[in-house]
Chain A
Amino acid sequence: MNAISLKINNEGYDVPVKPHWSLAYVIREKIGLTGTKAGCEMGTCGSCTLLLDGKPIFSCLRMAIDAQGSDIRTIEGLEEENDGELHPLQEAFIQDHGMQCGFCTPGMILAAKHLLDHNPDPTEQQVREAIGGHLCRCGTYVRIVKAIMNAAETMRNAQATQ
């Protein structure tokens, strides 16, 4: 076992890991932040997406030991970033029913957050590209795209009134 520390949502976690344990596994099973979902565990479903140093990655394809020193953000960190309120993306997913079972939702929201942080006014095509690596077994894509477009508008309006 190797003792490592991870910085997740601005919080430090010391945890012993084996080198081949994935970041997704450690975050869920050893640290207990189960918002990050483990689906295919081979990089094809997107449910384990989190932000590593600001960029979305698949945490099933990253060794936990290889994420030391990085700034990790999971779905649990979104509220904190938004002063304790649900993030506009989370609100929009609720409003527009951008989910059915909810398993893909954390990954979808984090991929969308990265898009909107860099492109506040995306086209529908850009939204579809941003979530291109994410599967929704319930098939709610149309509503997911709508939720992201609506969240983008809410965020732009909030920005404009500030």
Chain B
Amino acid sequence: MYAAVRINEIICIGCKKCIYACPDPNVLSFDEETRKVSADESRCKGCGLCVSECPKDAMSIY
């Protein structure tokens, strides 16, 4: 893994904008109970589109 997204679950408001912005399938998922987004880092290519779209700065690429 070279670069991948990390989500701060405390800040995430579950708006799903990142999910609609990700060019790769099955990377980001939405938990309907906690209403938070989580990432499968092994599938992430680290493009950062989700970071650009997140209105709360809850995501970063490391």
Q: Do A and B come from one complex?
A: no
Partner-B contacts on A (CB < 8 A): none
Residues of B bordering A, CB below 8 Å: none
